[in-house]
């Protein structure tokens, strides 16, 4: 496919607000793509070059793109800046200059050619890489027609923003094969096991829906979407729904998936599948000494320790270990211990379909407990009274509560069925919610007073319901100064120009900046009340 043909599809997508119409346009696009290019097309229309967990970044600032546009069309940098200030969009700026200059090459490059060149530019590092990146972008866009230029110049600076996500791509793949969304659940299951939307699209294109799942299995080089806990009101209800259960302490730390292969392959991911460089966790340098296997994928909770008191620290203190600088000093002040509670892969064999008690047995034969990594303790029971007793015990010891797991449950990504259930301290607190709520950050407002320095005053949070993300609260408390700064850094990377299609927001609640629906936060509150403005129909009182 010529990139100019892809640009025509991008123009249609940009002009469309209906999710159904977007899905149909994407399905049509995928139908015209061949198997050797569909993965590249999928990445490009999402504004990236790889699955998110590979962390391939362009490192191209807007000022660099201004220089590249000026070089491509033989303009003064100041003229490009003036036009950009007038239009407010680098893509439109480049499009306008390309139309008036008419210097683009007549030999129209294909989608794979453009993708490969963008990837080469993104991978360029070292001395004078900035100059080479600018030169590479300038040469590339000088070969493109004006419409293609509009979209290509937006991609490296993170401004493509067509208003859809990986989940919309799954809908479109179902529509491509079935003419409707009936295959979405099957596709989502595969995506959770291998969250690489380009790889998945290529499998569907080459094998069809009937046989594509044979190519989906746990891989040491790709994360698996983690299993999440549901909520039930009482131990009695837990036993009634789950039968024999494993009761374990709930740690208030960082959910970390560890991928290790001898002799020294190590990658770590958060519960949102964000890659964390191993330099952030120097404790794991000696991990190989603690594992009796050639390769494993482990599900863990990283918790900070007070080295003087030999006690767990709170979540806010543990979060200080996420910083990129001063890691060595912080690892001495707040050493981490990785509490292991599941094993998903061992020596090439998937364990996702094994019963939980069997996975625990394999785990105990695989891990050598020590100060860095340790299997968490557990108790098998079907007695509600014992569950209550263990809940009180772990709260007294400083844990967040308990996790209750169905003894014969398989490992299933996401929050489905009554397999894992959590029970926290707030259950027994008068006037409080029975538990925290996982919410999606939808946007944020700039701060006032002290918050001006942070760039965030409040963020708008919502919950998923009926295929939409509906607002339930605005949050401006419960974060430290450092957390506000980190939140701003993360939200800036997720900003989008327009409200995402799946957001259902009252006109009076719109934030200053919208963000992609990819950051999930855990909120506590005193109670839930009815709300005429929040589109969930409910609001959190005193959220934090």
Q: In this predicted model, what pLDDT tens digit does every residue of 129-185 receive, in sequence order?
A: 999 999 999 999 999 999 999 999 999 988 887 878 898 999 999 999 999 999 999
The token pair at 229 is 């806990």
**Digit-coded pLDDT (tens) for 245-274:** 999 999 988 899 999 999 999 999 998 888
pLDDT of 230 > 80? The answer is: yes
Q: What percent of the chain has pLDDT over 90?
A: 61
Beta pairing class for 295-306 and 336-346: antiparallel
- Find the mean pLDDT for residues 520-540: 85
- Find the mean pLDDT for residues 295-318: 82
Average pLDDT of every residue of the chain: 89
Instruction: Give the span between the Cα atoms of 335 and 372, in whole angstroms.
Output: 9
- Find the mean pLDDT for residues 61-76: 94
Domain boundaries defined on the chain: 230-428, 437-541
pLDDT at 421: 94
User: Which residues have CB under 8 Å from 475's CB, separation 6+?
Assistant: 458, 459, 461, 521, 523, 543, 544
Check if the beta carbon of residue 117 is closer than 8 Å to that of residue 47: no
Check if the beta carbon of residue 81 is closer than 8 Å to that of residue 165: no
Residue bearing tokens 């200030």: 85
pLDDT at 252: 83
pLDDT at 231: 84
pLDDT at 331: 67
190: left (phi over 0), alpha (psi -120 to 50) or beta: alpha
User: If we measure between CA atoms, which residue out of 421, 397, 399 comes closest to residue 409?
Assistant: 421
**Digit-coded pLDDT (tens) for 345-366:** 999 999 999 999 999 999 999 9
User: If we measure between CA atoms, which residue out of 198, 196, 64 comes closest to residue 122?
Assistant: 64
pLDDT at 59: 87
Q: Which of the four pLDDT bands, split at 50, 70 and 90, describes residue 382?
A: very high
The secondary element (H helix, E strand) that includes residue 273 is none
More confident residue, 473 or 431: 473
pLDDT at 447: 66
Instruction: Give the span between the Cα atoms of 520 and 463, in whole angstroms.
Output: 10
- Find the mean pLDDT for residues 407-422: 92
- Find the mean pLDDT for residues 392-396: 92
pLDDT at 431: 44
Instruction: Give the span between the Cα atoms of 5 and 207, in whole angstroms.
Output: 25
User: Which residues have CB under 8 Å from 261's CB, separation 6+?
Assistant: 220, 294, 295
pLDDT of 330 > 90? The answer is: no
pLDDT at 448: 61
pLDDT at 326: 58
Instruction: Give the span between the Cα atoms of 537 and 467, in whole angstroms.
Output: 15
> Among the options 83, 250, 346, 422, which is catalytic?
250
Query: Quick count: other Cβ atoms within 10 Å of Cβ 109?
Result: 18
pLDDT at 322: 63
pLDDT at 321: 67
- Find the mean pLDDT for residues 384-405: 93
pLDDT of 121 > 90? The answer is: yes
User: If we measure between CA atoms, which residue out of 40, 44, 13, 413 comes closest to residue 201?
Assistant: 40
Q: Which of the four pLDDT bands, split at 50, 70 and 90, describes residue 489?
A: confident
pLDDT at 264: 92
Considering all CA atoms of the chain, what is the largest pairwise distance in Å, rounded to the nearest integer? Answer: 78
User: Which residues have CB under 8 Å from 144's CB, separation 6+?
Assistant: 3, 4, 98, 104, 105, 108, 109, 114, 152
Query: Quick count: other Cβ atoms within 10 Å of Cβ 387?
Result: 22
- Find the mean pLDDT for residues 485-512: 88
Residue bearing tokens 């293609």: 148
pLDDT at 119: 96
CA atoms within 13 A on the CB side of 424: 17
Instruction: Give the span between the Cα atoms of 167 and 173, in whole angstroms.
Output: 10
Q: Concatenate the DSSP letters of all residues of 357-384 into one string.
A: HHHHHHHHHHB---SSEEEPP-EEE--H
Top-confidence range, 84-88, 391-395, 407-411, 495-499: 407-411
Query: Quick count: other Cβ atoms within 10 Å of Cβ 131?
Result: 12
Sign of the dihedral defined by the CA atoms of residues 11, 50, 137, 58, in that order: positive
pLDDT at 426: 53
pLDDT of 277 > 60? The answer is: yes
Lowest mean pLDDT among 221-230, 322-331, 355-364, 402-411: 322-331
- Find the mean pLDDT for residues 9-13: 96
- Find the mean pLDDT for residues 363-383: 96
Q: Which CATH class is domain 230-428?
A: alpha beta
pLDDT of 541 > 60? The answer is: yes
Check if the beta carbon of residue 399 is closer than 8 Å to that of residue 249: yes
Q: What percent of the chain has pLDDT over 70?
A: 92
Check if the beta carbon of residue 266 is closer than 8 Å to that of residue 260: yes
251: left (phi over 0), alpha (psi -120 to 50) or beta: beta
pLDDT of 430 > 50? The answer is: no
CA distances from 279 to 117, 368, 511 (A): 30, 23, 36
The token pair at 137 is 């972008």
Fold topology of 437-541: OB fold (Dihydrolipoamide Acetyltransferase, E2P) (2.40.50)
**Digit-coded pLDDT (tens) for 215-225:** 788 999 999 99
Check if the beta carbon of residue 299 is closer than 8 Å to that of residue 351: no
pLDDT at 102: 66
pLDDT at 451: 52
In the annotation, is 128 catalytic? no
pLDDT at 376: 93
Q: Concatenate the DSSP letters of all residues of 390-452 into one string.
A: HHHHHHHTT--EEEEEETT----SBS-SSSEEEEEGGGGSTTS-SS-EEEEEEEEE---GGGG
More confident residue, 342 or 100: 342
User: Which residues have CB under 8 Å from 340's CB, separation 6+?
Assistant: 298, 299, 300, 363, 367, 373, 374, 375, 376
User: If we measure between CA atoms, which residue out of 393, 53, 34, 390 comes closest to residue 245?
Assistant: 390
């Amino acid at each position: 496919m010529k990139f100019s043909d892809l640009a025509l599809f991008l123009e249609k997508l940009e002009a469309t607000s209906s999710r159904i119409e977007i899905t149909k346009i994407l399905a049509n696009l995928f139908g015209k793509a061949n198997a050797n290019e569909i993965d590249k097309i999928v990445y490009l229309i999402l504004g990236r070059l790889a699955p998110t967990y590979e962390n391939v970044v362009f490192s191209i600032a807007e000022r660099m793109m201004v220089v590249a546009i000026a070089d491509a069309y033989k303009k003064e940098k100041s003229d490009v800046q003036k036009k950009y200030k007038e239009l407010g969009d680098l893509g439109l700026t480049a499009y306008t200059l390309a139309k008036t200059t008419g210097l683009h090459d007549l030999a129209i490059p294909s989608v794979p050619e453009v993708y490969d060149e963008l990837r080469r530019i993104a991978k360029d590092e070292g001395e004078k890489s900035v100059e080479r990146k600018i030169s590479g972008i300038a040469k590339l866009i000088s070969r493109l027609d004006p419409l293609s230029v509009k979209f290509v110049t937006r991609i490296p600076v993170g401004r493509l923003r067509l208003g859809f996500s990986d989940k919309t791509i799954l809908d479109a793949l179902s529509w491509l094969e079935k003419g409707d969304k009936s295959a979405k659940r099957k596709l989502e299951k595969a995506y959770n096991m291998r969250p690489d939307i380009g790889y998945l699209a290529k499998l569907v294109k080459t094998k069809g829906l009937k046989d594509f799942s044979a190519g989906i299995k746990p891989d040491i080089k790709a994360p698996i979407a983690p299993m999440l806990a549901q909520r039930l009101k009482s131990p009695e209800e837990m036993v009634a729904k789950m039968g024999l259960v494993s009761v374990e302490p709930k740690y208030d730390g960082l959910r970390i998936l560890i991928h290790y292969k001898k002799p020294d392959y190590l990658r770590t991911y958060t519960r949102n599948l964000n890659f964390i460089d191993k330099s952030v966790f120097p404790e794991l340098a000696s991990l190989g000494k603690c594992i009796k296997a050639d390769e494993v994928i482990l599900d863990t909770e990283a918790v900070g320790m007070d080295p003087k008191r030999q006690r767990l620290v709170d979540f806010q203190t543990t979060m200080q270990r996420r910083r990129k600088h001063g890691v060595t000093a912080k690892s001495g002040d707040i050493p981490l211990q990785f509490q292991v509670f599941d094993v998903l892969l061992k020596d090439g064999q998937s364990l996702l379909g094994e019963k939980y008690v069997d996975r625990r047995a394999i785990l105990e034969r695989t891990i050598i407990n020590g100060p860095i990594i340790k299997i968490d303790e557990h108790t098998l029971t079907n007695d509600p009274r014992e569950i209550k007793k263990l809940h009180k015990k772990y709260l007294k010891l400083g844990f967040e509560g308990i996790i209750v797991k169905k003894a014969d449950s398989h490992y299933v990504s996401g929050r489905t069925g009554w397999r894992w259930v959590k029970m926290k301290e707030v259950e027994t607190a008068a006037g409080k919610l029975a538990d925290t709520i996982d919410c999606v950050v939808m946007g944020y407002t700039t701060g006032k007073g002290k918050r001006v320095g942070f760039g965030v005053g409040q963020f708008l949070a919502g919950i998923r319901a009926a295929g939409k993300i509906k607002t339930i609260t605005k949050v401006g408390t419960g974060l430290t100064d450092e957390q506000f700064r980190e939140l701003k850094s993360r939200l800036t990377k997720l900003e989008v120009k327009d409200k995402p299609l799946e957001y259902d927001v009252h006109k009076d609640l719109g934030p200053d900046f919208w963000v992609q629906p990819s950051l999930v936060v855990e909120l506590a509150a005193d109670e839930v009340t009815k709300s005429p403005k929040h589109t969930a129909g409910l609001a959190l009182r005193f959220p934090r």
